[in-house]
Amino acid sequence: MRETRIYTQLPLQIGAEFELDSASAHHLLQVLRMKPGATLTLFNGDGRDYYGFMIESGRRSIKVAISDRSGEEQPPTLSINLGLGVSKGERMDFAIQKSVELGVTGITPLLTEHSVIRLSAQRRENRQEHWKRVATAACEQSGRRRLPSIVDILGLHEWLKITHQSDSTSLLLDHRAGTTLDRLGCAGATVNLLIGPEGGLSPQERELAHAAGFKAVSFGPRVLRTETAPLAAIAALQMLWGDFRGGD
């Protein structure tokens, strides 16, 4: 039977009883057709799963009780901070969703010279909230007990300044590069990964990234789409230095 996992911002502890928010209640009642007595798993980002069951329901409300909890999720073997050029709707959603499933630690949407969309202040805020919901749903599906950070949209220059100050390995994915990931040696505990939008980064932006300490790497002869590139890169990073490897 498929596990039903629900994110909530409420504090969770064994013995607690509370009503879920209306959106979660709607999903459980109208989509999953759950009834009182059904079991479910809840998490709030503190690193644990909390196991409970539905004790009562109304037309638009659900009350649940917590009976047990899991152990604490360990910190990631490799922290991956993704700076991703903002792309059109479904492409950006797909990249965020799958990057979260693959274990990314944080995502910063970036505005670059070749960004094809322009966002007003209100649309910018709406997109930010939407991307956070996409990331949360990916955590529910994939079993992650800690939420990755979805940072507010930044200009590329701003993000480069922040990452330049951190003690980490910084990588720019560029099909023109002559170096591949496997030639880099150990990446350390944190990787900053920069990937442009549909049109890629401009020559000037690539120069800025190099000046900020980013090393250009490629995936051989192929040019990957902006929604494919982060998934391939994160999976490769996890296999080389992260939690895709077996235990020592």
In a domain, 53, yes or no: yes
Q: Quick one: how far is CA 121 from the chain centroid?
A: 23
Same domain for 28 and 113? no
Binned at pLDDT 50, 70 and 90, residue 194 comes out as very high
Binned at pLDDT 50, 70 and 90, residue 247 comes out as low
- Which residues, including other chains, have CB under 8 Å from residue 200's CB and lie 6 or more apart? 114
Query: How many whole angstroms separate alpha carbon 81 and alpha carbon 150?
Result: 10
Amino acid at 222: R
Cβ pair 217, 180 in contact under 8 A = yes
Percent helix, percent strand, percent coil in the chain, to nearest 5 = 30, 25, 45
Query: How many whole angstroms separate alpha carbon 230 and alpha carbon 228?
Result: 6
Query: How many whole angstroms separate alpha carbon 35 and alpha carbon 29?
Result: 7
What is the structure's pLDDT at 198? 85
In a domain, 248, yes or no: no
Same domain for 88 and 11? no
User: Which CATH number characterizes residue 235's domain?
Assistant: 3.40.1280.10
In a domain, 33, yes or no: yes
Same domain for 195 and 132? yes
Same domain for 112 and 225? yes
Same domain for 44 and 138? no
**Which residues form the domain of 35?**
5-69
Residue 39 pLDDT > 70: yes
Neighbours of 30 (CB within 10 A): 11
Same domain for 120 and 232? yes
What is the structure's pLDDT at 202? 94
What is the structure's pLDDT at 246? 66
Q: Which of 69, 92, 109 is the last residue of a domain?
A: 69
Same domain for 115 and 170? yes
Same domain for 221 and 109? yes
203-211 and 156-164 are packed helices; what angle lies between their axes, rounded to 10 degrees?
A: 20
- Number of domains forming the structure of the chain: 2
Residue 248 pLDDT > 60: no
Place of tokens 């670059």: 112
The pLDDT tens digits for 61-83 are: 899 999 999 999 999 999 999 99
Rounded to two decimals, what is the model's pTM? Answer: 0.91
Q: Average pLDDT for residues 144-163, to the nearest whole number?
A: 94
Same domain for 46 and 118? no
In a domain, 103, yes or no: yes
The pLDDT tens digits for 94-151 are: 999 999 999 999 999 999 988 767 777 788 889 999 999 999 999 999 999 999 999 9
Q: Average pLDDT for residues 9-29, to the nearest whole number?
A: 90
Same domain for 50 and 131? no
Alpha helical stretches, state H, 18-173:
22-26, 89-101, 121-142, 156-164
Same domain for 87 and 45? no
By C-alpha distance, which of 185, 196, 195, 187 is closest to 168? 187
In a domain, 93, yes or no: yes
